[in-house]
Structure 1
């Protein structure tokens, strides 16, 4: 029996070997497939977590941008309100009203008569019964009693105590130009500040995110090399190479001081010239339609931004947003940054210069102009089509029934003085740091989030500390750039960083549905 079994095994040993080989190969293949499937699942899970983390960081960054704008906007508002004192012109008009009353009535009657209100001043001077005091200016916003800025010294040969009084027509003309200029300048300032803040915080957010990714990806130091090192080689330090340095970030963010204190005032002069050209001949007593007011507003915008697409593309906003390199040290001092001699070259460090140069490139890009135009469209539409339409023209919110009635009756008219009242009051609302409806309207513009997403998620390759300006591949961050915003290797090599940004921006605009990031 045993001998027969041996003979049988000897005859089938080849078959047994083949079978064992097949089973072993099948087992190994199965284990390999299971391992690859497990790795794929783990990689997908890690990518999903990384993308969710990136999305959460981005969304938090945009909320920080909103709070930052609301926090620093009142500074620009205060500077513009001081530079364009419409309230002093109002005081002069009220003073002239009181003088006319003194000449026309007796002293006893004046004593028993209440001081002239804004509504009374407007009814007498502009002949507009709809120019109510609350629609012109809040009582708390009127400057204190004192010498009116409308007066001016007549001449060197005349007595210094005698001051030339502007006529009623001159005061109304000044109020017209000043109130419109102030409101329009605040709209421009709000839009520019929103974009500048988005660029700054998204650049820092992107760099800090990359710094954390690189830090996690870096291997831990060997035990024998673990020792205290007091040296800090600036650009050799990974965190500082990515701009994740507290002092550098503070200095970079403090550059917004320029827009809040200088840029907005320079922009105001440009807006004032455009408003004079367009609204200069308009009589405050004249009645115009809301459509006519919209056309005049559009003419002002064309003079400020450019009448054609090419003019808007070539319009330079950088001088209003950032100081020139030779003025950066001055801005840092004025904003409270420590720039004494012990602080080595605060404006020439590599990290600081990288941030400012990239910010300037973004501001000069066509994408910036495109988004700014959309933000201004939303801001001016909210002012003219919503606030002035409802408060000055008494037009209810647009609906199908309202539109049908307007087609039959025609567009209502209102005196220019009524619109000036709304311009004056809305200036305080535009520059408000709490419950700002204009900022909400601006942030509802979809292109703003697209622009912020492009800034946050593209240009990963320029953050490589070893970048020398030659051809290089994008830095591997361990997370894919959101679809539609990726910057391909071929694009980065063939077209360069700036062209790559424009391509990423074009892809973002091409997306019709879904969130950007």
Structure 2
């Protein structure tokens, strides 16, 4: 029995060997496949977590942009209000009205009630408009002081230095108030739009650099314990190279000083010239329709931004947002970044940030988004605020749309009444809290798309050593490949008309935006 079993095993030992080999190979292959599947699952989980973290980081960055704009906007508002003191002109008109009443009824018979209940004539048409201005509680403290000084109240100055300025006529004052009220509101809209875009560019560029810094820090090996710590400020310092240089970031953000103090005044000059040309012949006592007011507003915008698409593309906004190279040290000094005796030029890292910001501002995409922001702000001002408060047209809703259409077609209002609304809305546009105009701009989807493209493009410029365009960094004995987030990674609202991928070193800002607009056209 035992011998026969041995003979059977000898005869079938080849089959047994083949079977064992097959089973062993199957086991090894199975373990290999299970390992690969587990590795793929782990990698997908890590990518999902990384994308979610990136999305949260991007969304937080956009919230920071909103708070930053609200924090620094009052500085520009202060400068514009001082440059266009509508309240001072209002005080002069009120003073002239009181003087006319004093001459007509006599000083002894003039009372406050006489001023408030004067007869409704051509003069008192102005009085009604003045009352609407006077009811507003937005008189700036500095403007009140300036108007008091201009009127000679309490100055106590005598002699040649106290010579009064030439007295303006009522018509001149009303024309000055008309131009100043409209110009001030329009200038603040342009300033708010440009400031929103500039802040988006600045914080998203720094956010991108901080993202790369976090990637490098996570990939780097832990530092060895050492009793001596040496500070490395050379170009191979990864924290400095990737944007964790706090001083460079501070200097870069301080360049918004130019728009807040110089750019907004230059914009005001351009807007005031356009408003004077378009609204100059309009009589404040004239009644016009809301449609006519919208047409005049559009004419002003064409003169400021350009009448055609090609004109808008060639319109240069960079001089309003960033200083020329010979003024950069001055801006750093005025913003407190440089001591008065120090005129240190921008560092290479800061120079790269400024140059990339300039390229973004000069791109057609910037003008495209700016136009959409201005459309939203001017629509809120004219179609909502002016229509409701000056023309008494109820707000549009699904149930009142037809009524508003019928009433709004024939509704008329005096220009002077609209000026009071322009005056009030100027303070609302420049407000640093609960700003409806900023909220309307942030509802423009293309603004988030613009921020996403800035955040997720041009990663190759951030690497200290870009080898043939590949984002590969040597850290010790490890090689780290930096991952580039796409606009689909940073948020659902960060694409224009569809999903956009910005993978590849050749996908710069312009090509990325072209793909976004191309996908939008393909779906429309």
* Residue 61 (1) aligns with residue 50 (2): no
- Deviation, 1:315, is 0.6
Name the residue aligned to 2:366: 368
- Preserved CA contact (<8 Å) 1:305 1:311: yes
CA–CA distance in 2 between the matches of 1:122 and 1:135? 19
* 1:237–1:126 Cα change, 3 Å: farther
- Deviation, 1:481, is 2.2
- Preserved CA contact (<8 Å) 2:87 2:139: no
- Preserved CA contact (<8 Å) 1:454 1:505: yes
Q: TM-score, normalised by structure 1?
A: 0.89
- Deviation, 1:504, is 1.2
* Residue 481 (1) aligns with residue 483 (2): no
* 1:254–1:123 Cα change, 3 Å: farther
Residue 112 of structure 2 aligns to a residue whose secondary structure is: coil
CA–CA distance in 1 between the matches of 2:44 and 2:322? 42
* 1:340–1:103 Cα change, 3 Å: closer
CA–CA distance in 2 between the matches of 1:511 and 1:115? 67
Name the residue aligned to 1:210: 212
Mapping 1:115-134, distance limit 5 Å? 116=115, 124=123, 126-127=125-126, 129=128, 132-133=131-132
CA–CA distance in 2 between the matches of 1:261 and 1:149? 28
- Deviation, 1:283, is 0.5
CA–CA distance in 2 between the matches of 1:481 and 1:68? 25
Residue 288 of structure 1 aligns to a residue whose secondary structure is: strand
* Residue 433 (1) aligns with residue 432 (2): yes
* 1:337–1:232 Cα change, 3 Å: same
* 1:217–1:408 Cα change, 3 Å: closer
- Preserved CA contact (<8 Å) 1:202 1:452: yes
Mapping 1:19-38, distance limit 5 Å? 19-38=19-38
* 1:100–1:340 Cα change, 3 Å: closer
CA–CA distance in 2 between the matches of 1:74 and 1:431? 6
CA–CA distance in 1 between the matches of 2:94 and 2:138? 13
Residue 108 of structure 2 aligns to a residue whose secondary structure is: helix
* 1:93–1:129 Cα change, 3 Å: closer
Name the residue aligned to 2:478: none
CA–CA distance in 1 between the matches of 2:323 and 2:89? 33
- Preserved CA contact (<8 Å) 2:70 2:431: yes
Name the residue aligned to 1:332: 332
CA–CA distance in 2 between the matches of 1:120 and 1:186? 37
CA–CA distance in 2 between the matches of 1:28 and 1:430? 70
Residue 87 of structure 1 aligns to a residue whose secondary structure is: helix
CA–CA distance in 2 between the matches of 1:416 and 1:378? 23
CA–CA distance in 2 between the matches of 1:408 and 1:455? 45
* 1:481–1:136 Cα change, 3 Å: same
Mapping 1:170-181, distance limit 5 Å? 170-181=172-183
- Deviation, 1:233, is 3.6
* 1:162–1:356 Cα change, 3 Å: closer
Name the residue aligned to 2:144: 143
- Deviation, 1:128, is 7.4
CA–CA distance in 1 between the matches of 2:200 and 2:120? 44
Residue 398 of structure 1 aligns to a residue whose secondary structure is: coil
- Preserved CA contact (<8 Å) 2:388 2:395: yes
Name the residue aligned to 2:85: 85
Name the residue aligned to 1:472: 469
CA–CA distance in 2 between the matches of 1:288 and 1:148? 33
CA–CA distance in 2 between the matches of 1:97 and 1:215? 71
CA–CA distance in 2 between the matches of 1:8 and 1:163? 128
- Deviation, 1:347, is 3.4
CA–CA distance in 2 between the matches of 1:336 and 1:88? 33
CA–CA distance in 2 between the matches of 1:430 and 1:258? 20
- Deviation, 1:143, is 1.3
* 1:130–1:324 Cα change, 3 Å: closer
CA–CA distance in 2 between the matches of 1:208 and 1:301? 38
- Deviation, 1:95, is 0.6
* 1:429–1:408 Cα change, 3 Å: closer
Mapping 1:114-263, distance limit 5 Å? 114=113, 116=115, 124=123, 126-127=125-126, 129=128, 132-133=131-132, 137-138=136-137, 140-141=139-140, 143-144=144-145, 146-148=148-150, 161-220=163-222, 228-263=228-263
* 1:402–1:322 Cα change, 3 Å: same
- The alignment yields a C-alpha RMSD, in angstroms, of 2.8
| Mean Cα deviation higher: 503-512 or 392-401 | 503-512
- Deviation, 1:221, is 5.2
* Residue 507 (1) aligns with residue 519 (2): no
* 1:361–1:29 Cα change, 3 Å: same
Name the residue aligned to 2:386: 388
Residue 464 of structure 2 aligns to a residue whose secondary structure is: coil
Name the residue aligned to 2:476: none
* 1:213–1:273 Cα change, 3 Å: same
- Deviation, 1:505, is 1.5
- Deviation, 1:477, is 2.6
- Deviation, 1:205, is 0.5
- Preserved CA contact (<8 Å) 1:182 1:268: yes
CA–CA distance in 2 between the matches of 1:456 and 1:473? 18
Name the residue aligned to 1:277: 277
- Preserved CA contact (<8 Å) 1:125 1:168: no
- Deviation, 1:166, is 0.5
Name the residue aligned to 1:15: 15
